[in-house]
Chain A
Amino acid sequence: MDMQVQAEGQAPGVDPHERHGARSYLIGLAYALTLTLASFWAASTSLVYAPAVPILLATLAIAQMGVHVAFFLHISTAPDQANNFLALAFGVFVTALIVFGSLLIMANLNHHMMPMDELMKMQR
């Protein structure tokens, strides 16, 4: 382990000690394939209680994103990766704000909007 790298932190995806190697990509591929197959199965099966399917799909997608981040991008919570991990956490936070915030606001607007035909009547 070279001291220089330790002291300076680590760029994302960098693997100077070949700690991950080809094995990491193969393990990642196995997990990702399993999760992808599970997603496509969940979307077309009738075995799962239908209203639960979107939640199951979201869980599988988030799990697969985690697999990609850990095994392909090699982002971890190691001390030399603090900057990368903090940036990732902030990115996830902003993403969640944008997506859930938009859905919440638009659903609320829809809820409070007067039905279109009544609106037309008022304009006459």
Chain B
Amino acid sequence: MSAGEQALTGTLAVPLSLRGPASVRVVAGFGFWLFLLSDIIIFAALFASYAVLSGSTAGGPNAAELFDKRHVFLETLCLLASSVTCGFGTLAIYRSDARAMYFWMGMTFLLGLCFLTMEGREFASLVAAGAGPSHSAFLSAFFTLVGTHGLHVTLGLVWLVVMLLQVSTLGFHPMVGRRFFCFGLFWHALDIVWIGVFTIVYLGAK
């Protein structure tokens, strides 16, 4: 019997108002999901400003002259792989398998750090070449959009370290599981934002 049929015919056909409060896990997950969606709306505003300003180069270099697609492809691979290892880490938490969890979350951290290092080097080389955020409206929008994503990844890495410390001290407590699970949602959402970044900023460069 499918979940839908069960809900209609079984004892579960209870009105929503009579079911009582949802469990903490569901409420925490849903609340965090709403936060993530509002975060994505912030990125939507930054994407919109980038799209509007991407032609305003003030006589300086444009996107096609500045960006290296091979570099961006490696960054994309790092982030995609870290999303998958984060998923494996979450499965290890469901099984309360500490060794697998440390391994996969450690991989997630290293891949995230790889991504950040590559992005940092790209920013440094742009600034060194005189294409810093103060050069043109296009570069201001670029550094704001990509920098905000990078800042999110940095915060994600700090959060991951805190979560690993919490598992090592508190063990697989339900509260720790909930937090770790919110971290997973955050990490996957950052990867989704990155799809927009590499498509619009790097591949869409003309």
A-B contact count (CB 8 A): 148
A99 to B12, CA, bound (A): 41
B113 in the interface, Cβ–Cβ < 8 Å? Answer: no
A115 in the interface, Cβ–Cβ < 8 Å? Answer: no
Are A99 and B48 touching (Cβ within 8 A)? Answer: yes
A3 in the interface, Cβ–Cβ < 8 Å? Answer: yes
Q: Count of chain A residues with Cβ under 8 Å from any Cβ of B?
A: 58
B99 in the interface, Cβ–Cβ < 8 Å? Answer: no
Chain B residue with the shortest CB-CB distance to A28: B84
1/0 contact string of A84-121 vs chain B (CB within 8 Å) = 10011011001100110111001000000000000000
- With A8-B23, A36-B76, A78-B3 already in contact, the answer to whether A13 and B52 are too (CB < 8 A) is no
- With A12-B33, A29-B84 already in contact, the answer to whether A103 and B195 are too (CB < 8 A) is no
A48 in the interface, Cβ–Cβ < 8 Å? Answer: no
Are A58 and B199 touching (Cβ within 8 A)? Answer: yes
Q: Count of chain B residues with Cβ under 8 Å from any Cβ of A?
A: 55
- With A11-B28, A12-B29, A13-B184 already in contact, the answer to whether A98 and B88 are too (CB < 8 A) is no
> Nearest chain B CB to A88's CB is how many angstroms away?
7
Set of chain B residues within 8 Å of A13, measured between Cβ atoms: 29, 90, 181, 184-185, 188
Chain A residue with the shortest CB-CB distance to B191: A68
8 Å CB contact of A79 from B7, B38, B87:
B7
Instruction: Please list the residues of chain A having a beta carbon within 8 angstroms of any beta carbon in chain B.
Output: 1, 3-15, 18, 21-22, 24-26, 28-29, 32-33, 36, 39-40, 42-44, 54, 57-58, 60-61, 64-65, 68-69, 72-73, 78-80, 83-84, 87-88, 90-91, 94-95, 98-99, 101-103, 106
- A-B contacts, 20 of them at CB < 8 A, read A5-B26, A6-B6, A11-B26, A11-B28, A13-B90, A13-B181, A26-B84, A28-B87, A43-B204, A58-B199, A68-B191, A69-B192, A73-B188, A73-B189, A79-B4, A84-B30, A87-B33, A87-B37, A98-B45, A101-B48
Instruction: Please list the residues of chain B having a beta carbon within 8 angstroms of any beta carbon in chain A.
Output: 3-4, 6-7, 11-12, 14, 19, 22-23, 25-30, 33-34, 37-38, 40-41, 44-45, 47-49, 51-52, 69, 73, 76-77, 80, 83-84, 87-88, 90-91, 94, 181, 184-185, 188-189, 191-192, 195-196, 198-200, 203-204
